[in-house]
């Protein structure tokens, strides 16, 4: 999709409903960006990590990409945001969702409200991080529209996507986006 015109340049199964997986974090980033833009939260705010964001204590997060947060950690909104965007941190998604909206469920409500407002007609979110959940789906077309909205509506969020790495708690992790230098896995099967 061309950003300026919105014209689709190439497509294949653009309206096929699929599990969005970590592309869900684009909407998580969008909602966080809107909260920052509205002044509801600040990058310098300190967030207390809850038990639900602890990978060791939450079976759903075991083996997934995380920032290695622990219950009671005090982490800035800025660091959690980078943890979501650069590291694809599922624990960071939970911590920031709880902070922004009071609960994951309320944050998911915001995600779906923004999806509707943006015209994402084939998208429903059920998690803040994109781990598998019944009834969660999106399409390539809707994700392209969401990407365009992220760039236009919350450009400060978009700018974080180009950072090559992020270090938190002495753990350096590269950006998982292949366009930023992350290794690309190509299947020959």
User: Which one of 22, 29, 65, 138 is the catalytic residue?
Assistant: 22
User: Which one of 29, 65, 82, 88 is the catalytic residue?
Assistant: 88
User: Which one of 7, 25, 40, 76 is the catalytic residue?
Assistant: 25
17 is catalytic: no
The CA dihedral of 179, 63, 109, 19, to the nearest 10 degrees, is 60
148 is catalytic: no
Cβ burial of 9 (10 Å; 0-12, 13-18, 19+) is exposed
**Cα separation, 26 vs 98, whole angstroms:** 17
65 is catalytic: no
Cβ burial of 119 (10 Å; 0-12, 13-18, 19+) is exposed
Render the burial of 93-116: b for 16+ CB within 10 Å, e for the rest. Answer: bbbbbbbbbeebeebbebbbebbe
**Which is nearest to 32 in space by CA: 121, 92, 116?**
92
Query: Hey, which residues does 173 pair with through a beta bridge?
Result: 166
Which positions are annotated as active-site residues? Answer: 22, 25, 88
């Amino acid at each position: 999709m061309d950003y300026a015109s919105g014209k689709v340049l190439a497509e294949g199964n653009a309206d096929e409903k699929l599990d969005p997986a970590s592309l869900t974090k684009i909407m998580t980033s969008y909602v966080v960006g809107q909260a920052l833009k509205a002044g509801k939260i600040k990058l310098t705010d300190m967030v207390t990590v809850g038990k639900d964001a602890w990978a060791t204590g939450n079976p759903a997060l075991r083996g997934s990409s995380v920032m290695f947060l622990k219950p009671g950690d005090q982490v800035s909104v800025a660091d959690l945001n980078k943890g979501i965007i650069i590291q694809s941190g599922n624990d960071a998604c939970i911590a920031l969702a709880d902070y922004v909206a009071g609960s994951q469920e309320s944050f998911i409500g915001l995600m779906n409200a923004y999806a509707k407002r943006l015209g994402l007609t084939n998208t429903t979110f059920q998690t803040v991080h994109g781990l598998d959940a019944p009834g969660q789906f999106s399409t390539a077309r809707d994700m392209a529209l969401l990407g365009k909205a992220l760039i236009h509506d919350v450009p400060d969020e978009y700018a974080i996507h180009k950072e090559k790495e992020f270090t938190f708690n002495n753990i350096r992790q590269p950006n998982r986006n292949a366009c930023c230098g992350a290794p690309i896995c190509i299947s020959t099967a």
